[in-house]
Amino acid sequence: TYAEDAATPIFHHVGVYAYRPAALAAYPGWDIGPLETLEGLEQLRFLEQGRPVLCVEVAARGRQFWELNNPEDVPRIEAMLAAMGMA
């Protein structure tokens, strides 16, 4: 627990994933475990299989984040990038 007067750190998950071909080939054969079932995050299957997962902190204050999960997300992301002068 945290003291009421202490600042509680808040972390935002920014997911950018890169996998080795052998790990991707093995992935479908691994059972879905309790962590992945509970959280709905497929990368937890790597942890449950004892595979290393590298996490790094990024400077996020004042940044805008978005999700790109499906083809339908592309126009929205392109518009946001254009508004930021990045497209």
Count up the domains in the chain and report the number: 1
Contact 58, 14 (CB under 8 A): yes
Report the SS3 class of residue 22: helix
- 11 located within any domain: no
User: pLDDT truncated to tens, each residue of the chain (87 aa)?
Assistant: 556 666 777 777 777 788 899 999 999 999 999 999 999 888 899 999 999 888 888 777 777 777 888 899 999 989 988 988 887
- 59 located within any domain: yes
- 2 located within any domain: no
- 63 located within any domain: yes
- 53 located within any domain: yes
Residue 56 CA to residue 32 CA, distance in Å, equals 25
- 60 located within any domain: yes
The whole-model pTM stands at 0.58
**Structural domain range at position 26:** 21-83
